[in-house]
C-alpha cells in the first residue's frame, strides 16, 4: 500500500467522522420542550419502557433499552417483526412505547399503531421525518433527521443511526439525573462488573475469619510467629494478649528487618520486634476503601476489628486481587 493510498483512507475516515459530528451537533436545537415532554412521559411510566424497532433502528433501539435499564429506567427491546406475532402481548397500559424508525413509515411499526392506540399506551417516536405517520401519531416526536448519511452512496444508515443513539442516550441520562440515580444504584444492576465490585463488595465478604486468621500470643517467640505466617499465608500475623486484644502485628517486612539484625528467631520474643501501632479496618468498609487505605500506608495486609476493637478478620492484597477490586 502506497503512502497515497494510506492518506486517502485517512481522509475517507475523517470525512465520516466530520459528517456524523455535524449531525450530532444539529441535535442541540432539538433538546427542547418536546424532549422534556418525552422525558416526563417516561418518568410517569408505571410499567416498563418498551423500545421497538426494525433493522438498523432495531439494533440502536436494543442498545437504548439496555442503557435505560442500566440507569434506573426499566426497559426492554421488542423486535417490531415479532411484535405482531405475539410479542405485542408484552405491552400494557402502564407502559410507554419508544418507537424508532428513520423513515417513520416502517411497515412493521405502522401495523402496531392501532393496537398501541387501542391500549392507550403512550408512545414516543424517534424518527428522521417529522411529517411521517409514526411521528404524527406519537404523543411526543424526537426529530433525529440528518442532512446526509456518512455513507457516500447515501444508502447505509450511518449518521441517522448515530443521531438516534445519541438522542436515546440523552433521554437515559436526563432520566437518570431526574430520578436521583446514584453510582451505587448503577452498581446494583452491574454486580459482575468492576464498578459493581468496587461499590458493593465489602470487607466482610472476602476477609479471612475464625481459625484462618493468623495470630499468636504476645508470649510467643519469633519462630512461632513464622510458623503461623507460613500456615495462614497472609504475609503477617496478629499479636494478641491473653484477653485476645490486639497488641501488635508482625509482617514479612518486619521479618526482613529482624533478619538483617541477626536476631535469633528461636529465642527472641515476638513482643520485642512486633509493630505495636498497626493499621486496622472495619468489616463494613467497602473493599475499595480498604484498598485505598493499604495503598496510602504502603502496606499489603490489614487486621479487621469490630466496634470493641477485637480481632475478627484479616485481609491482604491478594484477596483484593482475587475479588477483582484491584
Report the CATH number at residue 164: 3.40.50.10490
Specify whether 55 is located in the same domain as 167.
yes
pLDDT of res. 52: 95
SS3 content of the chain, % helix, strand, coil (to 5): 50, 20, 35
pLDDT of residue 185: 54
pLDDT at 164 (0 to 100): 96
Question: How many angstroms separate the CA atoms of 191 and 276, rounded?
Answer: 38
Tallying the residues shown for the chain, one arrives at 326
Which CA distances in Å does 194 have to 29, 82, 288, 301?
A: 36, 35, 11, 22
Do 146 and 226 fall into the same domain?
Answer: no
Q: Is residue 190 part of a domain?
A: no
Residue 274: domain span: 203-322
d(CA 34, CA 57): 21
Q: What does the pLDDT look like over 96-148, one tens digit per residue?
A: 999 999 999 999 999 889 888 888 999 999 999 999 999 999 999 999 999 98
Per DSSP, the residues of 161-223 read HHHHHHHHHHHHHHHHHHHT--HHHHHHT-TTSHHHHHHH-BHHHH-B-GGGS-EEETT-BHH
Cell numbers that stand for 140 in this block: 411526543
Residue 216 within any structural domain of the chain: yes
Instruction: Pick the closest to residue 299 from 253, 239, 242, 243 (CA basis).
Output: 253
Distance CA 206, CA 256 (A): 28
- Confidence at residue 324, expressed as pLDDT on a 0 to 100 scale: 73
What are 251's three cell numbers?
Answer: 509482617
Among 148, 181, 214, which residue terminates a domain? 181
pLDDT of residue 85: 55
Q: What local confidence, expressed as pLDDT, does residue 259 receive?
A: 84
Domain count of the chain? 2
Are 63 and 145 within one domain?
yes
pTM of the complete model beyond 0.95? no
CA distance 162 to 146: 10
- Low-confidence stretches of the chain (pLDDT beneath 50): 190-191
Indicate if 218 and 318 belong to the same structural domain.
yes
Which residues pair with residue 96 across a beta bridge?
49
CA 233 and chain centroid, separation: 33
Residue 194 within a domain: no
DSSP state of 65: H
DSSP-assigned states of every residue in 7-24? HHHHHHHHHHHHHHHHHH
Give the per-residue pLDDT at 83.
66
Residue-wise pLDDT for 29-69, tens only, equals 999 999 999 999 999 999 999 999 999 999 999 999 999 98
pLDDT for the residue numbered 40: 95
Amino acid at each position: 500500500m502506497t503512502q497515497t493510498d494510506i492518506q486517502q483512507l485517512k481522509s475517507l475516515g475523517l470525512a465520516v467522522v466530520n459528517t456524523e459530528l455535524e449531525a450530532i451537533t444539529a441535535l442541540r436545537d432539538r433538546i427542547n420542550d418536546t424532549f422534556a415532554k418525552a422525558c416526563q412521559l417516561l418518568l410517569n411510566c408505571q410499567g416498563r419502557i418498551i423500545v421497538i424497532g426494525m433493522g438498523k433502528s432495531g439494533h440502536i433501539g436494543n442498545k437504548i433499552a439496555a442503557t435505560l435499564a442500566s440507569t434506573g429506567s426499566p426497559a426492554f427491546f421488542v423486535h417490531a417483526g415479532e411484535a405482531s406475532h405475539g410479542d405485542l402481548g408484552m405491552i400494557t397500559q402502564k407502559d410507554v412505547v419508544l418507537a424508532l424508525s428513520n423513515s417513520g413509515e416502517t411497515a412493521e411499526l405502522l401495523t402496531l399503531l392501532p393496537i398501541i392506540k387501542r391500549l392507550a399506551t403512550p408512545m414516543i417516536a424517534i424518527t428522521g421525518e417529522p411529517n411521517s405517520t409514526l411521528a404524527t401519531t406519537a404523543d411526543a416526536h424526537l426529530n433525529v433527521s440528518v442532512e446526509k448519511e456518512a455513507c457516500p452512496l447515501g444508502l447505509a444508515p450511518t449518521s441517522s443511526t448515530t443521531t438516534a443513539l445519541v438522542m436515546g442516550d440523552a433521554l437515559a441520562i436526563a432520566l437518570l439525573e431526574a430520578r436521583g440515580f446514584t453510582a451505587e444504584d448503577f452498581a446494583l444492576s452491574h454486580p459482575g462488573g468492576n464498578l459493581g465490585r468496587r461499590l458493593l463488595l465489602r470487607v466482610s465478604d472476602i476477609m479471612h475469619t475464625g481459625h484462618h486468621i493468623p495470630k499468636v500470643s504476645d508470649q510467643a517467640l519469633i519462630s512461632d510467629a513464622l510458623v503461623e505466617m507460613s500456615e495462614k499465608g497472609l504475609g503477617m500475623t496478629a499479636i494478641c494478649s491473653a484477653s485476645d486484644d490486639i497488641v501488635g502485628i508482625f509482617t514479612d517486612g518486619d521479618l526482613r528487618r529482624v533478619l538483617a539484625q541477626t536476631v535469633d528467631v528461636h529465642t527472641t520474643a515476638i513482643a520485642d520486634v512486633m509493630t505495636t501501632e498497626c493499621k486496622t479496618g472495619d468489616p463494613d468498609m467497602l473493599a475499595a476503601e480498604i484498598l485505598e487505605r493499604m495503598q496510602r500506608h504502603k502496606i499489603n495486609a490489614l487486621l479487621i476489628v469490630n466496634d470493641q476493637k477485637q480481632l475478627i478478620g484479616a485481609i491482604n492484597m491478594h484477596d483484593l486481587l482475587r475479588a477483582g477490586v484491584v
